[in-house]
Amino acid sequence: MRAIHYLQRYWQLYIMLLPVIAYFFVFKYMPLYGVTIAFKEYNPFKGVNASEWIGLDVFRNIFAMEDFYTALRNTFLLNGLDFVFGFPAPIFLAICLNELKFASFKRLSQTLLYLPHFISWVIIGGIMYQLFATNYGIINLLLAKIGIAKIPFLSDSSYWLVTYTSVGIWQSIGWGSIIYLAAMTGINKELYDAADVDGASRLRRIWHITIPGIRSTIIVLMILKIGDMVDIGFDRPYIIGNVMVRDVSDVLSTFIYRVGLQNSQYSTATAVGLFQAVVGLAFVLTANYVSKKTTDESII
């Protein structure tokens, strides 16, 4: 009786959820079934279902592939560089912006600094090639004018890593600072007044008040970032990367695309994807656990 009464009141909400559940079922859960081809010899004529099971052979194969290890290493390498250089950059910027005296200049700078976040990687890639290209890029043309030899920013592996990291900072520094600026507004103003009374210098105020005030935000974001180490976007390494620097630019996402869609080795690419998803999930869960233990904040 109660159930009928409940349904009379709430059936419409379930109707609304129907298309939603259907969407997630079809586009997010059905591919999970397709993952089985990581354990099969995929035959396009037979389809996912009828292809033959071959156990862990595909995984044995990929663990014997040199390219797989390169892609795995590069994923950690590029994410690691982003972590070491790209992670502190917005914190530094947020502190500078927070110390800025002129409110209108602060707002203007913020507005301008957020812009690259909204630009697609295709456009950033296009702009970047015009800036950094060895033969006609403006930077090398300017260097040539002051007598410095051309620098292969895009075609030499070590320089490419520098380019990749800097472009990443350029794109995300402004946007990344928002969350720290928000955290800074939560700092008790009286602390600063007390520091003034004690005659603390600006740097000491930053060190003893601002940074401790955003420490928990920093720690949570840092843990999140470490949890995402195995996960790497496709657009940035794919667009900025090129054949000349493949030894450092080929990451798991681009490797899967190349092997799977371009070379049609479906089972191999699926297995690499599954490996990445499982390791990625383990990283995220561990990060979440650590976050809970250390800061009492959990993401999941």
Footprint of another protein on 205-234 (CB under 8 A) = 234
Footprint of another protein on 233-272 (CB under 8 A) = 234-235, 239, 242-244, 253, 256-257, 260-261, 266, 269-270
Footprint of another protein on 95-124 (CB under 8 A) = 96-102, 105, 109, 111-116, 118-123
Q: Where would I find the H helices in 100-242?
A: 103-114, 121-132, 138-145, 157-185, 189-197, 202-205, 211-227, 235-240
Footprint of another protein on 52-91 (CB under 8 A) = none
Instruction: List residues bridging with 52 in a β-sheet.
Output: 41
Least Cβ distance, residue 195 to another protein (angstroms)? 11
Using CB under 8 A, which of the segments 11-19, 54-62, 67-75, 76-84 binds another protein? 11-19
C-alpha span between 5 and 3 (Å, rounded): 5
Radius of gyration of the chain measured on its C-alpha atoms: 25
Q: Are 238 and 3 in contact (CB under 8 A)?
A: no
Among 83, 85, 159, 192, which residue sits at the site for another protein (rule: CB under 8 A)? 192
Q: Are 234 and 253 in contact (CB under 8 A)?
A: yes
Footprint of another protein on 124-163 (CB under 8 A) = 125-131, 133-136, 138, 141-142, 144-145, 152, 154-155
Least Cβ distance, residue 52 to another protein (angstroms)? 16
Q: What are phi and psi of 233, to 5 degrees?
A: -60, 165
Residue placing its CB nearer to another protein in the complex, 84 or 281: 281
Least Cβ distance, residue 289 to another protein (angstroms)? 14
Residue with the two structure tokens 């194969």: 61
